[in-house]
Copies of this chain bind each other. A is one copy, B any other.
Amino acid sequence: MSDILFDKIALIGIGLIGSSLARVIREKKLAKTIAVSSRSSETLERAHTIGLGDSYTTSAAEAVRDADLVIVSVPVGASGKVARDIAGNLKPGAIVTDVGSTKKSVVEQMLPEMPKGVHLIPGHPIAGTEHSGPDAGFAHLFEGRWCILTPVAGTDDEALKELISFWEACGSMVDRMDPDHHDLVLAIVSHLPQLIAYNIVGTADDLETVTKSQVIKYSASGFRDFTRLAASDPTMWRDVCLNNKDAILEMLARFSEDLSSMQRAIRWGDGDKLFDLFSRTRQIRKSIIEAGQDVDVPDFGRQLAYTEGHEEE
């Protein structure tokens, strides 16, 4: 793929997602020019050193000038501010999109700020790792992953098509969804797992009877799986919680209800119930692997990483 889709793309925010976009845009030649913006001058300097773009500025307003596509990759709580900052400089006909993990709140924050003739099409690539910052990105992050677009009523068809082409060129499959439904789906597949991971790591950290060094030593027995998610960016996740409250509280309530029921089965020694519960969940992993959304090797392929490491020694 090497079709130039846009003359100029502005990346507002250059963390894990923004810097992965920069890399794939460069690699697949999806734009003539990449403008990089970060409100942190330290992050910006790092992006410059790595050479992620063609121009660098701490001013989002400056970055979006003449841009055909603007991609906002900031914690969702900052979406409104970015929209206000860039509104005056947006080129007529420009497409503005984002990569935030909640969509209803992003629409509410950004849509009122957009000038007439600019196409706001919120989006969410279902991709990431536990690492953050401009060094954490890589060009194939979006490959084989879904990207959900949540166009609002009256969205221009042509603009939507162009954005879909962009994500497909990044290697993604694209889905369309209502913002509310997006937030509900993500509450269960992403926000709840994340909160559970943070919570269990916190619970372990607080124990008086088991030392932290024991938790670390024996973490290969299951616990370590949760620490990966719990190493994610705290600002991003604080904002997700504050901006998808209702759906998250609904999923937390269901989870707690189910956990109480499991707890009761353990207390009363109901082995049959436990066995049934533990049996029904295998199929889902199989389906996820069949759908190409996880690797078909034990332990997420950790063994390969170990082997790789050994070979390098």
CB–CB B298/A216 < 8 A: no
A187, chain B: closest CB distance, angstroms:
8
**A259 to B222 alpha-carbon distance, docked (Å):** 19
Closest 9 interchain pairs by CB? A301-B305, A129-B298, A190-B221, A234-B278, A300-B300, A193-B222, A230-B281, A227-B285, A295-B305
- Give chain B nearest CB distance to A273 CB in angstroms: 9
Closest to A224 in B: B294
A304–B305 Cα distance when bound, in Å, is 7
Integer count of this chain's copies in the complex: 2
Write the A23-66 contact mask toward B (1 if CB under 8 angstroms, else 0).
00000000000000000000000000000000000000000000
A253 CA / B206 CA spacing, docked (Å): 13
For A215-248 the 0/1 string (1 means CB < 8 A from B) is 1111111111111111110110110011001001
CB-based contact B200/A214 at 8 Å? no
Whether B262 pairs with A198 at a CB distance below 8 angstroms is: yes
- Interface residue tally for chain A (C-beta within 8 Å): 114
Q: Which of B127, B218, B232, B284 contacts A205 (CB 8 A)?
A: B284
C-alpha gap A209/B297 in the complex (Å): 31
Q: Is residue A282 contacting chain B, with contact meaning CB distance below 8 A?
A: yes
Shortest distance from the beta carbon of A292 to any chain B beta carbon, whole Å: 10
Min CB–CB distance A255 → chain B (angstroms)? 5
Residue from B127, B202, B299 in contact with A228 in the complex, judged by beta carbons closer than 8 Å? B299
Q: Roughly how many angstroms separate A10 CA and B186 CA in the complex, as a whole number?
A: 49
Per the bound structure, the CA–CA distance linking A206 and B201 in Å amounts to 26
User: B282 and A235: CB pair below 8 A?
Assistant: no
A90-98, A159-167, A263-271: which one contacts chain B?
A263-271
Tell me, yes or no, whether A136 is within 8 Å of chain B by CB. yes
Residues of A within 8 A of B (CB): 101, 126-131, 136, 138, 140, 144-146, 148, 175, 184-186, 188-207, 209-210, 212, 214-232, 234-235, 237-238, 241-242, 245, 248-249, 251-256, 258-260, 262-263, 265-267, 269, 271, 274-275, 277-282, 284-288, 291, 293-295, 297-306, 308-309
Across-interface contacts of A207 in B (CB, < 8 A): 188, 254
Q: How far is the CA of A140 from the CA of B302 in the complex (A)?
A: 12
Contact, CB under 8 Å: B238 / A145: no
Give 24 pairs: A residue, B residue, CB < 8 Å, sorted on A.
A126-B218, A126-B221, A131-B298, A140-B303, A146-B218, A146-B220, A184-B210, A185-B210, A193-B200, A193-B222, A196-B259, A198-B262, A204-B284, A206-B254, A215-B284, A219-B288, A230-B278, A235-B275, A237-B278, A241-B266, A241-B271, A295-B306, A297-B305, A299-B300
